[in-house]
Amino acid sequence: MPHPPRKPSPPRMRRILQFLVGLLVLVPLTVHAQETAAPAPSGHGSFTAAHAAKARTQTADHSKFKILQGPFKDGDGPAVTKACLTCHTKAAQQVMATSHWTWNVAKDGNDGYGKSTFLVNNYCLTIIGGNTEGCTRCHAGYGFKDKSFDFNQQENVDCLVCHDTTGDYEKERAGMPNPAVPLADVAQKVGSPTLKNCGACHFFGGGANATKHGDLDDTILKAPRTEDVHMSKQGAGMDCVDCHTSDSHKVGGPNYVIPADRREQPKFPGESVSRMSCAACHTDAPHKSYVLNRHYQKVACQTCHIPAFARGERPTNTFWDWATSGRLKDGRPYEEKDANGWPTYTSMRGKMVWERNVKPSYIWYNGNLKFTRLTDTLPASRPVVLNPAEGSYTDPNAKIWPFKFHEATQPYDPVLNKLVAPFTDGPPGSGAYWGDWKMDIAVKKGMDTAGLPYSGQFDYLRTTMLWPITHMVAPKEQALTCTECHARKGRLAAVPGFYLIGRDRGTGVDFIGFAVIILTILGVGIHGVIRYLHGRH
């Protein structure tokens, strides 16, 4: 039954088209809105304000205490400590239980992890070959000259190095105060540790400013926000101890003995996560995007938010070549510097490479670095990694972390296949390397002092050390963008064990895909051409 033809209704069609166009515009718009929603106030300066409040609310003015009036003899640190202990009766005992004092950390039930024992690195190597007196400048105590040091003398705890607020306190050999330090004045102005206190030692790891870590040096003290959002005074104005919280003088830190996922686990009573964990302040879902937040399972915050290390003005040491050390000019040690004034060769240490703004290396890391001691037999593989990181994709505690890889050559005993402890720091005539420039004698003397077996032969060994990067966090605008890693030759190109979108693109799969598409186009094209040639349809 035929019915009257209806005309198409253009307005309706237009409405539908409008809707479709609307959809096209709307979806990207909402997406855009999600991404660029205004950030929450970041609390800049809140910590600076908090510190001012801390000073204001202190209940004790130490300058009012008679016992701190002095006078103290030049360089007589222990006398100051005795004065402190008259009120803070338990303080020294607390400090003596920490690694700041013992420089020795038991690990896996084994002794020997720590500077005072058999731990060795590939910068200044180790202290126990006779270098103790020079190195204990950074010991939180007084008089640590050699292994005869009495670790039970309470007055030898150094209160001032951590609690000085004047900036006038300085330590010399064996950790004694410089005799020029105005001890009474310093003692009367003690307070909570600031960046300067921790930095006095921790900025100078490896023997000089910025040398060891790559994310800790004295540029932090005057850093612009772009260098370190947390510690910069233009940023949050935080102190080390805001994250490295302490309990009974035990300051939170890695300590060589690192629990898996160390920054996450609560360290002290009252914490739900360790304050050293980014999540303690930022939560474990700080981004607007669910997809970004989920990266937290496998990617450390540091990986994206620290695009490079040594981002301050100072370069960090990336290569230290002991094998070329000891060259003399006219019988005297010398230095060569590059255009920046950075030493490229010193007789004391050999060839050196210094770098700024270095792209980190990325590896799986569950919080555990397996350190090598002087007593450990070296693995057969070369070059030797002195502290390989544990972790893999399938390890639930492991994340991809940024690292500074420090390369070096250092002396070892090829017969016993162990690292050695040369005596480096001493005057001419003492047999010390930096006095007499003879490595064979220095190693022999060092191993004797350390009380370790030595075959009498030494050679130089190529070693690598791993330093996790976690400080000098960049502002969020400088965080890595997706394609820094989600790309064929991105930053994570060498991180194994998982499928990474954008990086792992099976060329075979793409080949099949393109083959299908090309065959379809060919088929369609041939069909169309034939149709055209027949002039029909």
Partner 1 sequence: MRNTLKFLAVLTAITVPLLAEGSDTKGKYFFKKSCKSCHVAGAAGKEITPLSKTQAQWKAYFAAGKHNKGAEKLDTLVKPDQVKDIQTFLTAHASDSPQPMTCG
Partner 2 sequence: MRRVVLYERFERFWHWAQALIIITMMLTGFEIRGILGLHLFGFQRAVTVHNALAVALVTLIVFAIFWHVTTGEWRQYIPTRKFLREMVAFYLTGIFKGASHPVKKHRMAKLNPLQRLAYLGFKVLIIPVQITTGALYYFYPNLQHAFGWSPSALWFIAVVHVLGAFGLVAFLIGHVYLTTTGHTPLTNIKAMITGWEDLPDDEYFDENP
Tell which positions 292-351 bind partner 2, by CB under 8 A: 294, 297-298
Q: What count of residues does the chain have?
A: 537
Does position 484 interact with partner 1 (CB under 8 A)? The reply is no
283 bridge partner residues: none
Compute the least distance from the CB of residue 9 to partner 2, in Å: 9
- When the beta carbons of 286 and 435 are compared against partner 1, the nearer one is 435
Tokens 């474990």 correspond to what residue? 284
Q: How far apart are CA 214 and CA 353, in angstroms?
A: 13
Does position 427 interact with partner 1 (CB under 8 A)? The reply is yes
Q: How far apart are CA 93 and CA 425, in angstroms?
A: 31
Compute the least distance from the CB of residue 430 to partner 1, in Å: 11
Q: Which of these ranges, 92-100, 140-148, 172-180, 509-517, lies near partner 1 under the rule CB under 8 A?
A: 172-180
Does position 35 interact with partner 1 (CB under 8 A)? The reply is no
Choosing from 18, 25, 31, 338, the residue that interacts with partner 2 (CB under 8 A) is 31
Q: Which of these ranges, 188-196, 238-246, 265-273, 528-536, lies near partner 2 under the rule CB under 8 A?
A: 528-536
501 binds, among partner 1, partner 2, none (CB under 5 to 8 A by kind): partner 2
Q: How far apart are CA 479 and CA 305, in angstroms?
A: 5
Tell which positions 46-75 bind partner 1, by CB under 8 A: 71, 73-74
Choosing from 79, 82, 153, 207, the residue that interacts with partner 1 (CB under 8 A) is 207
Does position 482 interact with partner 1 (CB under 8 A)? The reply is no
Tell which positions 501-520 bind partner 2, by CB under 8 A: 501-502, 504-506, 509-510, 512-514, 516-517, 519-520
**CA 189, 194, 195: angle at the middle one, nearest 5?**
140
End-to-end, the C-alpha distance of the chain in Å comes to: 30
- When the beta carbons of 50 and 184 are compared against partner 1, the nearer one is 184
CB 74 within 8 A of CB 264: no
Closest CA to 241 of 204, 194, 203: 194
240 bridge partner residues: none
Helix and strand totals (H; E) in the chain:
16, 13
DSSP 355-392: ESSBPPEEEEE-S-B---BTTSPPPSSSSEESSPBP--
Print the SS3 string covering 10-47: HHHHHHHHHHHHHHHHHHHHHHHHHHHCCCCCCCCCHH
Does position 18 interact with partner 2 (CB under 8 A)? The reply is no
DSSP 428-487: TTTT-HHHH--HHHHHHHHHHHHT----S--EEEEEEEEEE--SSPPPGGGSPPGGGTSS
Choosing from 291, 330, 331, 477, the residue that interacts with partner 2 (CB under 8 A) is 291
Residues 6+ apart with CB under 8 A from 153: 78
> Rounded to whole angstroms, what are the CA distances from 285 to 49, 117, 136, 143, 350?
26, 41, 42, 48, 47
Choosing from 34, 58, 89, 178, the residue that interacts with partner 1 (CB under 8 A) is 178
Q: Which of these ranges, 25-33, 106-114, 331-339, 397-405, lies near partner 2 under the rule CB under 8 A?
A: 25-33
Q: x/- string (CB under 8 A) for partner 2, residues 458-487?
A: -----------------------xxx--xx
CB 481 within 8 A of CB 462: no
Count the residues of the shown chain that bind partner 2, applying the rule CB under 8 A. 61
- When the beta carbons of 25 and 67 are compared against partner 2, the nearer one is 25
Does position 347 interact with partner 1 (CB under 8 A)? The reply is yes
341 binds, among partner 1, partner 2, none (CB under 5 to 8 A by kind): partner 1
- When the beta carbons of 224 and 497 are compared against partner 1, the nearer one is 224
Q: How far apart are CA 359 and CA 309, in angstroms?
A: 7
- When the beta carbons of 340 and 394 are compared against partner 2, the nearer one is 394
Question: β-strands 316-321, 350-355: how paired?
Answer: antiparallel
Q: How far apart are CA 361 and CA 214, in angstroms?
A: 12
Q: Please give the residue ranges that form the binding site for partner 1 (CB under 8 A).
A: 71, 73-74, 168, 170, 172, 178-181, 204, 207-209, 332-333, 335, 341, 346-348, 427-428, 435
Q: Please give the residue ranges that form the binding site for partner 2 (CB under 8 A).
A: 1-3, 5-6, 8, 12-13, 16, 19-20, 23-24, 27-28, 30-32, 34-35, 289, 291, 294, 297-298, 393-394, 396, 481-483, 486-488, 497-499, 501-502, 504-506, 509-510, 512-514, 516-517, 519-521, 523-524, 527-528, 530-531, 534, 536-537
